[in-house]
Chains A and B, each alone.
Chain A
Amino acid sequence: MTDLEKAADPSKLRRIAIEPVSRVEGHGKVTILLDDQNRVHQVRLHIVEFRGFERFIQGRPYWEVPVMVQRLCGICPVSHHLAASKALDRVVGARRVTRTAELVRRLMHYGQILQSHALHFYHLSSPDLLLGFESEPERRNVVGVLAAYPDIARQGVMLRKFGQEAIRITAGKRVHGTGSIPGGVNKSVSASERDELARALPQVLEWARLGVRMVAELHAKNRDTYERFGTVRSSLLSLVGRDGKLDLYDGVLRARDADGAIIFDGVEPDDYHAQLRENVRSWSYMKFPFIRSRGAETGWYKVGPLARIQNCDAIGTPLAETARQELMATSPGALIHAPLLFHWARMIELLHAAEVIGGLLDDPDLQGHDLTTSGPRATSGVGIIEAPRGTLIHHYEVDSQDLVTMCNLIVSTTHNNQAMNEAIRQVAREYLDGHEPTEGLLNHIEVAIRAFDPCLSCATHALGKMPLWVEIVDARGDVLQRLTRDGERSPG
């Protein structure tokens, strides 16, 4: 139990709820308990519902899983699509997919990183960072940014579009695509599709560089706030490439402690469970993972951009590596734990994704025809990917009749559960404690949560007990309408 997690006598306290937390993906709630002097006694970020997607997938044929898991979350479908495919590669005996399949999947994944990071920074977080945490709430949104910084807002939109195009080309559609299948992919990239992306790339790289510079300047202007705001020391976890470099698609697990010392390294995806465990608390449906050797109390960690760029030895693309060095130089010899520096790290990754995509487009094997591979069947498989928000683990067991018998998912946001809770407690201590809470002060809490870019939709495993909705889809597979059980309509 950590400080501010549980108040000694909650019944005497005033309760403030921030619900839903705005400008984050999905639905979550923060509760704060205050006494008469506005002293903070308890702060929690909760996930208020849980919908058990794992059970839904049991009994389904394994080849359906990479497509079906996209329904887990409308925000991160591509990450689930790829993590499931990687897990099921093992089941169909594809220890390595073909070179073409790997290139196509990487293009899809880095397209997803690019579009997701662009959406998060320009759309969700720039209102706080450019306009101010306590700026007028009516204008503290993307419309406000569009009015005050039209060029920046437009660049965000265009970056996102480019990433979505990479997804459409590789998956067949921007959402609910089918490109990746167990053992490989179902299409490669044609020369004309490649050219379409290649033409846009120089401009994308330029905007990505401007984006990194902008965050660096925001930091330089307000260094003290950026480095203190919600800062809590913790371990870090991510995949790193087998060469130790940043790799968001594939690799081995590495964890460092708060001082940067390696806790474990080179852990194969199959062995994740030997290193990571999950805990539950009565007050949230979101689990609390921890590093097993450290124990539940102190073994929590951060995942996501800030963890990744410090966990790797280097970034393999020149512009992003230079940018990484600049960020690391702000904290010589010590790891950075400040949530607001997630934004800088995220923009470095966005730049890296653009560079990686450039390299993929230059590779003639992207047009290859050797799409799938298989080998001796296995009864289980683990797939791990670095999704935009952090490490994403999919684990399946499949029986001899080809049906899934077990599914375990640890989504990115869940890894950051404790870290987000600690960050908002830190912010509450520093900014709220002893003050009459105002909208601006409460937004500080949300700013800290947003820095982690949580997808609470994923964390909720937002699908529901089978089956929750009917979707009407046209022949091209576009969702025309979705009808949920309670008759509520939602856009496709």
Chain B
Amino acid sequence: MNDDRPRFTLDDQEVAFTPGQTILEAALAAGTYVPTLCHHPEFAPHGSCKVCTVRVNGRTQSSCTTPAHPGDVVELHSEELDDLRKSLVQLLFTEGNHFCPSCEQSGNCQLQAVGYELGVVSGHFNPLFPTRPVDASHPDVLLDLNRCILCELCVRASAQVDRKSVFALSGRGITKHLVVNAESGRLGDTDLAVEDKAMSVCPVGVILRKRRGFRVPIGERKYDRRPISEVALDEAEGERR
């Protein structure tokens, strides 16, 4: 990699970047993990989860949507930012019904892995325990909305890759929720197929292949052996090759 590329400062490290890269992309490429939940290398940045928040020249920004500029001074880890990220993740835990021990996505779940990475050890806020029934109307797919963190990755994948627009978000603020584009509102009445991209992007355990849960033993799941900070860097590298 040639070293004439422009640079910015990330905490106490100089990071070279390719013009057009976001701060998050440049950081990952330079081998620095940035926690995030709504970012997916194959999709345009979204900036909704705010977990990747950094300070750019003193201003708070989402690193996944902010392009890198030469000479920028970017703060990734500080007590304040680390606390902020932790609080955001805790809020996500309390907004939904996340019961890791009995969730089939445990060990493969990005929310759980990020929570662990950030040292989230308690829910902190009073859980809301919303009532959200599961949608099991599709013969091969279960939709468990108890765990949706509204990252819109499935929305993006279904629209941009599958060209089906099976999923959408509806409502605002606290009432915002995932809906299915069928008159009945039931997944079984959409043309979602198990091969669709939308099946494989959910960072938590909402969109699930039926009858597969718990088939992978503890010890062989995605984040069993290595933390997400390592897995994410590998994935970013794989993406660039």
Contact = CB atoms under 8 A, between A and B. Distances in A.
B187 to A, nearest CB: 10
Contacts of A475: 107, 112-113, 116, 223-224, 227-228
B233 to A, nearest CB: 16
Interface stretch (B7-15, B92-100, B150-158): B92-100
B240 interface: no
Question: Which secondary structure dominates where chain B touches chain A?
Answer: loop
B136 interface: yes
Interface string A179-195: 10100001100000000
A473 B106 contact: yes
Given A472-B123, A473-B101, A475-B113, A177 B136 contact: no
A476 B109 CA distance: 11
Interface stretch (B28-36, B76-84, B173-181, B206-214): B206-214
Contact of B214 (A59, A60, A178): A178
Contacts of A372: 215
A477 B106 contact: yes
Q: How large is the interface on B (under 10, 10 to 19, 20 to 34, 35 or more residues)?
A: 35 or more
B112 to A, nearest CB: 6
B218 A177 contact: yes
Interface stretch (A61-69, A253-261, A282-290, A446-454): A61-69
Interface stretch (A38-46, A140-148, A479-487): A479-487
A481 B217 contact: no
Interface stretch (A320-328, A389-397, A463-471): A463-471
B104 A483 contact: no
A181 B136 contact: no
Interface string B56-98: 0000000000000000000000000000000000000110011
A476 B127 contact: no
A363 to B, nearest CB: 20
Nearest to B228: A475
B214 A472 contact: no
Contacts of A176: 101
Contacts of A483: 122-123, 127
Contacts of B218: 171-173, 177-178, 476-477
Contacts of A171: 218
A401 interface: yes
Contacts of B224: 475-477
Nearest to A176: B101
A402 interface: yes
A481 B101 contact: no
Contacts of A68: 102
Nearest to A470: B123
Interface centre among B102, B121, B123, B134 (most CB of A within 10 A): B102
Nearest to A66: B214
Nearest to A371: B215
A489 B121 CA distance: 11
Contact of A477 (B101, B123, B126, B136): B101
Given A60-B134, A61-B142, A477-B218, A402 B210 contact: yes
B120 interface: yes
A391 to B, nearest CB: 24
Interface string B119-143: 0111100110100011011000010
Contacts of A487: 126
A127 B188 CA distance: 60
Interface centre among B101, B106, B129, B134 (most CB of A within 10 A): B101
Contacts of A489: 122
A13 B112 CA distance: 56
B115 interface: yes
Interface in A286-341: none
A176 to B, nearest CB: 5
A485 B125 CA distance: 11
B111 to A, nearest CB: 11
Nearest to A179: B217
Contacts of A63: 104, 211-214
7 contacts: A63-B211, A401-B137, A472-B93, A475-B116, A477-B100, A477-B101, A483-B122
Given A64-B102, A470-B93, 17 more contacts: A59-B133, A61-B210, A63-B212, A63-B214, A64-B213, A67-B101, A70-B102, A71-B99, A178-B217, A181-B215, A186-B215, A402-B210, A472-B100, A472-B123, A476-B107, A480-B116, A483-B123
Interface of B: 93-94, 97-104, 106-107, 112-113, 115-116, 120-123, 126-127, 129, 133-134, 136-137, 142, 144, 210-219, 223-224, 227-228
Q: Which 6 A-B pairs have the closest CB atoms?
A: A172-B218, A473-B100, A401-B136, A187-B217, A68-B102, A475-B223
Interface of A: 59-61, 63-64, 66-68, 70-71, 92, 171-173, 176-179, 181, 186-187, 372, 401-403, 466-467, 470-477, 479-481, 483, 485, 487, 489
